[in-house]
Amino acid sequence: MKKTILSGMRPTGRLHIGHYVGALENWVSLQGDYQNYHLVADLHVLTTTTTTTSIDAHTLEMVMDWIAAGIDPEKSPMFRQSQIKEHSELFLIFSMLITKARLERNPTLKEQVRDLEIDNMIYGHLGYPVLQAADILLYKGNLVPVGEDQLSHIEITREIARKFNQEFGPVFPEPEPKLTKFSRLPGLDGKAKMSKSLGNTIYLSDKPEDIAASLKKAVTDTSKIRKNDPGHPEVCTVFTYHQKFNPAETESIAADCRTGILGCVDCKKRCSAAISDFFAPVRERRAPYEANPGLVREILAEGETKARKVAAETMHQVHDAMKIG
Ligand code: TRP
């Protein structure tokens, strides 16, 4: 039997090419060899805000990008956590299997507290990884594709699975993280990470002219001031994009930048053309869903029907093991 992959994202709206490189590309490539489930973590949004008005629109945009990237709804169910009640029930049961001290030691939580300047944490935020454990284990996920920042959550998931199995009997696998190789794309401003809140992104849904305009603003090697100054590709953001999206020309671009034959304006034009070409099939797949978002709702409804079946079966086993019900 195929192993199961459970992947998830909080609905933050349109996805950018950093998400593609860091996650989606990996999800798509794993599609044939594994049974994939893709979860919209819409309840997780509530850990940091009570503003719920944008969740629905953000979910549609994000799932559109998943499909556009190549996730096949026939093979890989896509669904909202909030629509499968079993997530909430398993979250509650798991809350009894982990200590407050263990959750307070979570480095990802500490980082969030620092970045978002949280001085009075809500109860559910502390339990963020417990809900994530329920997300993964309801589908008996064996592998979870994640970035570095999520490793601590997978570790907590493994501890909870182990604890449940010890206390009640063997129901859950101990899932393993699957890190992406090329997991970080720098932002247009040269910052280490592309991120919506930093405003340094190229969206998957951007048109070629948007991409060209964004690239014009991109930060390059700051010591290359005039066109024919010799440059240093290894410190240039645009060159990182060439490496990923324009591999055939990478070597000659590096050489011509170093000697000064190639100026940044030309180099950026070639880069935006390469990025546009790379994502042309993605834009093409996205188009019918943009025109008719109802199609995305249908895909979610189908995914939720499939997910609900699996989740109900797992909860059945949980109840049996716990001798309740
Ligand atoms: N915590 C994940 C993130 O912020 C999102 C998420 C929620 C998730 N549930 C999941 C990821 C289950 C993988 C599996 O990226």
pLDDT, residue 227, reads 86
207-278 — its CATH code? 1.10.240.10
Ligand 1 midpoint to CA 46 (Å):
13
Question: In this predicted structure, what is the pLDDT of residue 12?
Answer: 93
Give residue 319's identity as a one-letter amino acid code: H
Residue 314 CA neighbour count, 13 Å, CB half? 24
Tokens representing residue 260 in the block: 């000064």
Please tell me if the CB atom of residue 194 comes closer than 6 angstroms to any atom of ligand 1: no
Does residue 138 contact residue 310 with C-beta atoms inside 8 Å?
yes
Among 19, 21, 56, 52, residue whose Cα is nearest residue 40: 56
Q: What is the DSSP letter of 181?
A: S
Q: For residue 13, which of 53, 50, 47, 48 has the smallest C-alpha distance?
A: 53
User: Sheet containing 176-179: which strands, arranged edge to edge?
Assistant: 78-80, 35-40, 4-9, 143-146, 176-179
Residue 35 backbone class (left: φ over 0; alpha: ψ -120 to 50; beta: rest): beta
Q: Which residues of 191-212 are buried (b: 16+ CB within 10 A; e: fewer)?
A: eeebeeeeebbbbbbbeeeebb
| Predicted TM-score (pTM) above 0.85 | yes
In DSSP terms, 7 is beta-bridged to 38
Per-residue pLDDT of the chain (325 residues; tens, 9 = 90+): 899 999 999 999 999 999 999 899 999 999 999 999 999 999 999 999 999 999 999 999 999 999 999 999 999 999 999 999 999 999 999 999 999 999 999 999 999 899 889 999 999 999 999 999 999 999 999 999 988 889 999 999 999 999 999 999 999 999 999 987 666 799 999 998 898 889 999 999 999 999 999 999 999 999 998 888 999 999 999 999 999 999 999 999 999 999 999 999 999 999 999 999 999 999 999 999 999 999 999 999 999 999 999 999 999 999 999 999 8
Ligand 1 within 6 A of CB of 7: yes
Single out the residue of 81, 85, 77 nearest to residue 302, CA to CA. Answer: 77
What's the confidence (pLDDT) of residue 181? 67
Domain 4-185+292-322 top-level CATH class: alpha beta
C-beta separation of 43 from 82 below 8 A: yes
Domain locations along the chain: 4-185+292-322, 207-278
Residue 180's pLDDT is: 76
Alpha helices in the chain (DSSP H): 17-19, 25-29, 55-69, 86-95, 100-104, 107-115, 123-126, 128-138, 151-168, 208-216, 237-245, 247-259, 264-278, 280-291, 294-322
Indicate whether residue 138 lines ligand 1 (CB < 6 A): no
Q: Which helix (H) or strand (E) holds 79?
A: strand 78-80
Ligand 1 closest atom vs CA 128: 1
Exposed, middle or buried, 224 (CB in 10 Å: 0-12/13-18/19+)? buried
47 ligand 1 Cβ < 6 A: no
Pocket flag, ligand 1, residue 5 (CB < 6 Å):
no
For residue 10, the CA-to-ligand 1 centroid distance in Å is: 7
Model pLDDT, residue 196 = 87
Q: How far apart are CA 140 and CA 147, in angstroms?
A: 20
